[in-house]
Amino acid sequence: MPPIGCLGVGLEEEAVRLAGKYVANLDRAFSTLEVLEGPHVVGEEALDYVLDLAKRYHEDAKGFLRSGRPLTSIAASSYAEGLLDALRFLGLIEFKWPGEEDTSR
């Protein structure tokens, strides 16, 4: 397999590295996640449904990484990240990505 860029890192190795990083990022996000109080335009059932989807994509990403499918793992992680970010942008949840200071605890 030809190297990527000047570092000589192969595509497969880079995919495994990125997939592991994204799964770890989601581990951090879910470990700090809290549903915010207050009146929400979105009902609790809908919020729970979207959070469940994000958790399932996260679990899928871990499984794909363990089974040697890092590109599929990255795709599943990306879906989970997008759902979490959307809920945060709507003011429904809060969490921290790696590198963000945790001031809520």
Give Cα separations from 93 to 10, 26, 71, 83 (angstroms).
Answer: 37, 14, 28, 11
Q: Using 50, 70 and 90 to split pLDDT, how confident is the model at 40?
A: confident
Q: What is the pLDDT of residue 8?
A: 55
Q: What are phi and psi of 102, to 5 degrees?
A: -95, 100
- Calpha distance 65→88 (Å, rounded): 26
Amino acid at 99: G
Q: CB count, 10 Å around CB of 63?
A: 14
For 43-95, CATH number? 1.20.1270.90
Give the chain's count of helices (H) and strands (E).
3, 4
pLDDT on residue 12? 87
pLDDT-based confidence at 3, cuts 50/70/90? very low
**The pLDDT of residue 102:** 57
Would you kindly state where each structural domain of the chain is located, as residue ranges? 43-95
pTM attached to this predicted model: 0.80
Mean pLDDT calculated for residue range 55-77: 97
pLDDT at 80 over 70: yes
